Amino acid sequence: MNQIKIGIIGAGRIGKIHADNLLRLPQAKVVAVSDLFAGPELEAWAAERGIGTVLTDSAELIARPDIDAVFICSSTDTHVPLIKQAAKAGKHIFCEKPVSMSIAQTEEALEAVREAGVKLQIGFNRRFDHNFKRVREIVGEGAIGETHIVKITSRDPGPPPADYIKVSGGIFMDMMIHDFDMARFVSGSEVEEVYAQGNVLVDPVFAEHGDVDTAIVTLRFANGALGVIDNSRQAVYGYDQRVEVFGSKGSVAVTNDHPNTAEISTSEGIRKDKPLHFFLERYQAAYVEETQLFIDCLAQGKPLPVEGNDALQAERIALAAKLSSRLRRPVKLSELPELL
């Protein structure tokens, strides 16, 4: 396979980011984009980038014989049917997280992928962040010994709009799912038990939709390590993304990325610029790398860096956290079939 021909389903913010990143790669070509609300504006955007076809029907895009792989960037409720359709058509798939809000539906999608023999990569872009990758490398090398504690902080600079909140799936599935994947990634171990607590401390609109805006989850890993994740929908000082892994021989920690490293020291105190504003700025390079590796793996027939099972495990942890918050007790992942 020389040049990988790509179709993008869903031309919102993330779909356009992936398109622009793909257009940088000589081994990839975006041949078509589909979006339910495609019109003159999207057609103009596509024309500027040399994307020749804009459709409203994703089925038409998937059926095209000149497409090797699809990027599914549409709303979460469309992911499973689109994965099934693409797999049946023999297309390789990149899908944004989560695959679905239902473990059973996600398993159905993964089974369709297995039966078709196509590749599926999940958009857990934080694995490709230069800071977090280095943490995983250090832990994997054994430099800090056996992992004892994993600490993850993830706080947004501001809450999403109400229309988004009501369909997001809640803080554990929408926001913290990235952190659940990161916990598995940096620890190198599966999660066995979670205990989640949450509250509405930022905006009452979250309560109106049965959600919380502030949450803490403790984790128990299969290797015996413990973890803690804290999330907030509003950090007034900017996008707060930190990880620490503490082990028997030491620890490794990464802090926030900033626009620059300048630190101003005066008689009034010491200060520096706020962290990079939000995920598009902080993880810009990570989005590029995840796209590059997906294309490289297709072209060279190599295993993908993030596969369907990673989505399934993160979703299982998120669901257990949601149940734990509701039941006000720890939940083992092994309990999920009985609690659903």
The CATH number of the domain holding residue 251 is 3.30.360.10
| 37 belongs to a structural domain | yes
Q: Are residues 182 and 331 in the same domain?
A: yes
Q: Are residues 86 and 61 in the same domain?
A: yes
Are residue 141 and residue 77 in the same domain, yes or no? no
Does residue 309 form part of some domain?
no
The answer on 46 and 144 residing in a single domain is no
Same domain, 246 and 163: yes
Q: Domain boundary residue among 66, 96, 118?
A: 118
> Which of 64, 87, 118 is where one domain is finished?
118
Using a cut of 0.75, tell me whether the model's pTM lies above it: yes
Same domain, 254 and 164: yes
Distances (CA, A) of 46 to 28, 40, 74, 114: 16, 10, 17, 33
Considering the domain boundaries, does residue 297 fall inside one?
no
- DSSP readout, 264-331? EEETTEEEEPPPPSSHHHHTHHHHHHHHHHHHHHHHHTPPPSS-HHHHHHHHHHHHHHHHHHHHTS-E
Q: How far apart are CA 314 and CA 308, in angstroms?
A: 10
**Predicted pLDDT of residue 260:** 82
Task: Render pLDDT for 285-325 as a digit per residue (tens, 0 to 9).
Answer: 899 999 999 999 999 999 999 999 999 999 999 999 999 99
* Residue 103 belongs to some domain of the structure: yes
Tell me, yes or no, whether 300 lies in a domain: no
Same structural domain for residues 94 and 154? no
User: Of 304, 319, 338, nearest to 176 (Cα)?
Assistant: 319
Co-location of 40 and 105 in the same domain: yes
Task: Kindly state whether residues 211 and 173 are assigned to the same domain.
Answer: yes
Within-domain flag for 289: no
Residue 333 in any domain: the answer is yes
Q: Which of 68, 90, 118 is the last residue of a domain?
A: 118
- Per-residue b or e along 126-154, where b marks 16 or more CB atoms closer than 10 Å to that residue's CB: bbbbebbbebbebbeeeebeebbebbbbb
pLDDT of 338 reads 67
Structural domain contains residue 27? yes
Indicate the number of domains in the chain: 2
The CATH number of residue 18's host domain is 3.40.50.720
**Judgement on whether residues 101 and 187 belong to the same structural domain of the protein:** no
pLDDT digits (tens, 9 = 90+) for 116-158: 999 999 999 999 999 999 999 999 999 999 999 999 999 999 9
Residue 280 reports pLDDT greater than 70: no
Write out the H or E segment, with its range, that includes residue 205. helix 205-208
Residues 6+ apart with CB under 8 A from 12: 35, 73, 74
Distance CA(230)–CA(197), nearest Å, equals 10
What pLDDT digit, counting tens, does each position of 202-224 carry?
999 999 999 999 999 999 999 99
Look up the domain containing 246 and give its range. 127-282+314-339
Written as six digits, the tokens of 292 are 């590059």
Whether the predicted pLDDT of 244 surpasses 60: yes
- 189 lies in the same domain as 103: no
184/31 Cα distance (integer angstroms): 35
Please indicate, yes or no, whether residues 154 and 222 belong to a single structural domain of this protein: yes
